Amino acid sequence: MRALRRWLDDTVGGLPATFWYLWAGLLINRAGAFAMLFLSLYLTEARGASEALTGTVVGAYGLGGAAGVLLGGVLADRWGRRATLLAAHLGTAGLMAALAFSRHLAVIAALAALVGVAHSMPSPAFVAAIVDVVPEQRRSRAFNLQFWAFNLGMAVASLLAGLLAEASFVALFLVDAAATLAAAAVIGWKVPETLTRVRAAGPTERGGRATRQRRVRAPGLHTALTDRTFLVFVGLTFVLAVLTMQTSTIMPLAMRADGLRPSAYGAVVALGGLLIVVGQLFVPRLIDRHRKHHVLAVSTGLLAAGFAALAVADELAVYLAAAVVWTIGQMLAAPPNAQINADLAPPELRARYQSVFYLAFPAASFVAPTLGGVSLQYLGDRHWLIVGGLGLLAAGCHLLTGPARDRRVAALRFAQAPARTPAPVR
């Protein structure tokens, strides 16, 4: 019993109430956010699009997301975290309802791009709000719980979506819109604004003379976009995202080519979510004693092995076994990836760095289906060998670049540490 209490305290203790409301909003959103997972199947089965055209339309979603993360980062610093989250969730709900009743591929592609914008806007605001309210020593646990909630919701969504897709694709989009509205209600009701604003004061009286304080302005995105150490890490995160995006963009097409039904795809995604729900809370104790770049190298290697195994997959059992391998890789990668991102960002540039970091995911959402659809169509199962080779290359790069990241984080912490007053000379 004492061991259980100690584990619970280490895992979930010491986190503020605002974090848990953010966590609840994310969980509700993810539990119903399954429409874009099945967009490729919707286009091929309901709209008769080819694999290459499907990849292009799904890629429009990723292209819109690239603009969305930058917009979300800027708005999170200007409007505030809460306002950005509410605007993005309400916009997503309306766009999903429009997608439910759209029939022309051009309209669907345009709406997919706009959904990409709205879906990606909350990411910098969510993480910036978590960093705003969670003490530094608890952030790794908070990010681990965030990833756990995301995948718990995805597991629920995938089980329901596989059944709904066989009954009605329209229902997919409408349930997604309803879940997004529910998440917006939680955020609007319980999440306060976490951004600390620096107000520009007008003339003030000091000693009988009027003085004017200067407005403090945060630097622009160019600082993050020219930070080489940070950009190398973002590039490796992009490769990680390209690998993980295979499950929602290219793998459904491969399973369809093997004669498997949408419910089989839902089972594979649900298995991954279930493994994360069961095991993710134990990951911090497993990896905390290891250096972050070593953990990322191992996790990326597991992702590479799992997807390379799909080159010989033609039955559901093989897909499920491969999913176990790449899911373990995802579980190990989530906490150090988020923690390194937070550590590399100067406090005054938090949302800007988050927006640049999250560019990796919409960029992967564009590249993975656009190139992957063509690759699968013309290379067949060899596509998965290419994906595996890319993952192994990224694993090696983590080992090479990790020490430089560690030195950069140490330098930032030293610069942020309060200056020590020298002892008086006697």
Is 338 within a domain? Answer: yes
138-155 pLDDT, tens digit per residue, is: 877 888 888 888 777 776
8-17 pLDDT, tens digit per residue, is: 555 566 788 8
Look at 3-7, 137-141, 270-274, 386-390 and tell me which has the smallest mean pLDDT. 3-7
Q: What is the mean pLDDT of residues 395-420?
A: 81
Is 420 within a domain? Answer: no
Look at 308-312, 345-349, 370-374, 378-382 and tell me which has the smallest mean pLDDT. 345-349
Q: What is the mean pLDDT of residues 265-274?
A: 81
Q: Which residue has the tokens 């009743």?
A: 101
Is a pLDDT exceeding 60 seen at residue 216? no
Q: Look up residue 312 and give its DSSP letter.
A: G
Please give the helix or strand (H or E) that residue 248 lies within, else none: helix 228-249
Pair of tokens at residue 411: 């330098």
Q: What is the mean pLDDT of residues 225-235?
A: 90
Confidence of residue 420 (pLDDT cuts 50, 70, 90): very low
Look at 98-102, 106-110, 202-206, 370-374 and tell me which has the smallest mean pLDDT. 202-206
Q: What is the mean pLDDT of residues 295-311?
A: 93
The whole-number pLDDT of residue 208 equals: 43
Determine phi and psi for 196, rounding to 5 degrees. -90, 115
Is 102 within a domain? Answer: yes
Q: Give the C-alpha separation, 2 to 10, whole Å.
A: 12
The whole-number pLDDT of residue 212 equals: 39
Q: What is the mean pLDDT of residues 86-90?
A: 93
Confidence of residue 363 (pLDDT cuts 50, 70, 90): confident
Is 92 within a domain? Answer: yes
When divided into structural domains, the chain yields a total of: 1
Is a pLDDT exceeding 80 seen at residue 422? no
| Three-state secondary structure call for residue 208 | coil
Q: Give the C-alpha separation, 250 to 369, whole Å.
A: 6
Is 5 within a domain? Answer: no
Is 219 within a domain? Answer: no
Confidence of residue 66 (pLDDT cuts 50, 70, 90): confident
Q: What is the pTM of this model?
A: 0.71
Determine phi and psi for 204, rounding to 5 degrees. -125, 155
Q: What is the mean pLDDT of residues 148-169?
A: 73
The whole-number pLDDT of residue 210 equals: 40
> For all residues of the chain together, what is the average pLDDT?
80
Determine phi and psi for 209, rounding to 5 degrees. -120, 140
The whole-number pLDDT of residue 213 equals: 38
Strands 209-211 and 204-206, how do they pair? antiparallel
Give the percent of the chain with pLDDT over 70: 86
Query: Residues 23, 153: contact at Cβ < 8 Å?
Result: no
Q: Which domain holds residue 130?
A: 17-193+226-413
Look at 53-62, 99-108, 294-303 and tell me which has the smallest mean pLDDT. 53-62
Q: What is the mean pLDDT of residues 157-183?
A: 79
Is 110 within a domain? Answer: yes
Is 1 within a domain? Answer: no
Q: Look up residue 44 and give its DSSP letter.
A: I
CA-based nearest residue to 400, from 228, 224, 232: 232
**Residue type for position 129:** A
State the alpha helices, DSSP H only, in 46-104: 51-78, 81-100
Q: What is the mean pLDDT of residues 55-62?
A: 78
Query: Residues 119, 68: contact at Cβ < 8 Å?
Result: yes
The whole-number pLDDT of residue 426 equals: 46
Supply the angle between the helices 122-133 and 17-32 in degrees, to the nearest 10: 150
CA-based nearest residue to 42, from 265, 291, 205, 293: 265
Query: Residues 70, 221: contact at Cβ < 8 Å?
Result: yes
Look at 82-96, 230-244, 344-358 and tell me which has the smallest mean pLDDT. 344-358
| Three-state secondary structure call for residue 206 | strand
| Three-state secondary structure call for residue 253 | helix
CATH number where 294 lies: 1.20.1250.20
Helices and strands (H and E) in the chain: how many: 19, 2
Residue 30, CA atoms < 13 Å, CB-side half-sphere: 20
